[in-house]
Amino acid sequence: MERLEEPTPRPTAPPPAVGPITEPATDVANVALGAAARAAAEPCAPATVTVKVKTTTAQGTDIVATPDTTIGEIMTQACADLGVRDPARYVLVANGEVIADGARTIGDLVGDRLDQGLTTRLVKKPEAGAPCPS
Amino acid sequence: MPVLSSTAPCRSAARFRRVYVPLGTLLTAWDFLRANGNEGHEQLCFFAGRVVDGGTGPAAQVTSCVLPVTVATPGYVTLTSHAQAALILDSLEARNEVPIFSLHTHGDGGTAGCGPEHSTIDDHGVALGPEDGVFSAVIPYYALGSPFGFPERVTIYERVAGQWHMLSPDERAARVIVHGDTLRLTLTPEESAP
């Protein structure tokens, strides 16, 4: 009796893998390294700002503050550092402009240039007066 | 606390033993003061300069006068803005100069023969900055008199520990020195004879 003999399956190449792709880009270690390198190349926004406050050419103080520090707080610290006895007469001038709003923050003033800091001058408006001559 | 730290500047107790004022600079400043005086108004200006070795201590050499834009009346004068004060100080810093002297005029000659005195406004207002060691001169009669009366016929103050102290006549003469700008040598009659 004849038997139908089933042919022995011939080995064939395995189907293409459908599992995780193992290209370099998806290698976890490489991805981490790449991300770290890209992050290192990006300048980080500093958490603090250095505000230089000068009076005359001979006197000045460097104040390190957070961006949410107000001009009023900077003024108070600067007047204490520089021995200003009548702070109400003084204002801060930066880039030629009087910063009149004491509630304004340093972050608002410097924008995205936190790392460059801010140079200001603490000035009053000189004046003199005497009784009118009779 | 938003302010994290600040430098604690070493505030030197500057006290100039002498101030040297070039005559040409004095005359320029005086002309400026007198121009307003001719209108019957006060005026205000400044001397700036550099710290020099005075032999027995620091001295100040005046090297320039600062003639600001002011608004003046017969009894009052002020700079037009805070920004102008900042600009003056920026300019002096670029020249390595510091404010040394404030000069302003009064319409009168003072009382009791001691010349015009600082008013309360003067005490608070005449200096460009808060530092000690600077001087202030009050010039009588709107500077309509002769500049060659400086410093004998003006009132001079020095700020020490935040307070203005009037210099005595002797101290004024010893510490405020007006000198010529030019040193010219000439032949004696014998040398120039043929």
Condensed to tens digits (0 to 9), the pLDDT of residues B108-151 reads 888 766 679 999 999 999 999 999 999 999 999 999 999 999 99
What is the pLDDT at residue A30? 77
Query: Does the residue A128 lie in any domain?
Result: no
Residue A89 contacts B where some CB pair is shorter than 8 Å: yes
What is the pLDDT at residue B36? 97
Distance CA B154, CA B104 (A): 10
* Tens digits of residue pLDDT in B61-111: 999 999 999 999 999 999 999 999 999 999 999 999 999 999 999 998 887
Domain count for chain A: 1
Q: Which of A61, A68, A133 comes nearest B7 by C-beta?
A: A61
Q: Is the pTM of this model over 0.90?
A: no
Interface of A with B in 6-45 (CB under 8 A): none
Three-state SS sequence of chain B: CCEEEECCCCCCCCCCCCEEEEHHHHHHHHHHHHHHHCCCCCCEEEEEEEEEECCCCEEEEEEEEECCCEEEECCEEEECCHHHHHHHHHHHHHCCCEEEEEEEECCCCCCCCCCCCCCHHHHHHCCCCCCCCCEEEEECHHHCCCHHHCCCCCEEEEEECCEEEECCHHHHHHHEEEECCCCCCCCCHHHHCC
Q: Domain of A98: which CATH number?
A: 3.10.20.90
Q: Which CATH architecture is the domain B19-178 placed in?
A: 3-Layer(aba) Sandwich (3.40)
Which residues on chain B are in Cβ contact (under 8 Å) with A130?
A: 42, 75-76, 106-108, 116, 119, 121-122
Interface of B with A in 6-65 (CB under 8 A): 6-9, 11, 14, 42, 44, 46
Query: Does the residue A129 lie in any domain?
Result: no
So where are chain B's domains?
Answer: 19-178
Is the pLDDT at A134 greater than 50, yes or no? Answer: no
> Which comes out higher in pLDDT, residue B65 or B56?
B65
Do residues B123 and A128 touch, judged by C-beta distance below 8 A? Answer: no
Domain that holds residue A53: 49-123
ipTM of the complex: 0.87
**How far does A36 lie from chain B, in Å, by closest CA?**
30
